[in-house]
Amino acid sequence: MADKIMQIKVAIVDDDEGIRSAISALVRRASGLKLTGEFSDAESALKELPKLMPDLVLMDINLPGMKGYECVRQLKGAQPTMQFLMLTVYEDSDSLFNSLRAGASGYLLKRTASARLLEAIRDVHEGGSPMSPQLARRVVQFFSKPSLESASLAKLTPAEREFLNQLANGYPYKEIADRMHISIDTVRSYVRTVYEKLHVHSRTEAVVKFLRG
Q: Which residues pair with 87 in a beta bridge?
A: 60, 108
158 contact, one of DNA, a second copy, none, CB 5-8 Å limit per kind:
DNA
Residue 174 binds what, of DNA, a second copy, none (CB under 5 to 8 Å, by partner type)?
A: DNA
Partner interacting with residue 65 (select from a second copy, DNA, none; CB below 5-8 Å by kind): none
Residues 6+ apart with CB under 8 A from 137: none
Site residues (CB under 8 A) for a second copy, limited to 112-171? 123-124, 126-134, 136-137, 139-140, 143-144, 146-148, 154, 167-170
The site partner of 184 among DNA, a second copy, none (C-beta below 5 to 8 Å per kind) is: DNA
Using CB under 8 A as the binding rule, whether residue 179 contacts a second copy is answered as no
Cβ atoms < 10 Å from Cβ of 17 = 10
Contacts made by residues 187-196, CB under 8 angstroms, sequence distance 24+: 187/163, 190/159, 190/160, 190/163, 193/160, 194/156, 194/160, 194/163, 194/164, 194/167
| By the rule CB under 7 A, 159 interacts with DNA | yes
Whole-angstrom distance, CA of residue 69 vs CA of residue 47: 15
Q: Which is nearer to DNA, 70 or 123 (CB)?
A: 70
- With contacts defined by CB under 7 A, name the span among 33-41, 46-54, 102-110, 196-204 that binds DNA: 196-204
Residues in contact with 42: Cβ distance below 8 Å, sequence separation at least 6, in sequence order? 13, 63, 65, 66, 67, 68, 70, 71
C-alpha to C-alpha distance for 70 and 96, rounded to whole angstroms: 12
Contact call for residue 154 and DNA (CB under 7 A): no
Q: Using CB under 7 A, which of 78, 178, 183, 212 touches DNA?
A: 183
- Cβ proximity to a second copy: between 40 and 79 the closer is 79
Lay out the site mask for a second copy across 10-49 (x = CB under 8 A, - = otherwise). Answer: ----------------------------------------
Surface-to-core class of residue 109, CB atoms within 10 Å of its CB (0-12 exposed, 13-18 middle, 19+ buried): middle
Q: Which is nearer to DNA, 18 or 158 (CB)?
A: 158
Which H helix or E strand runs over 46? Answer: helix 42-52
Where on the chain is the footprint of DNA (CB under 7 A)?
Answer: 157-160, 171-174, 180, 182-186, 188-193, 195, 201-204
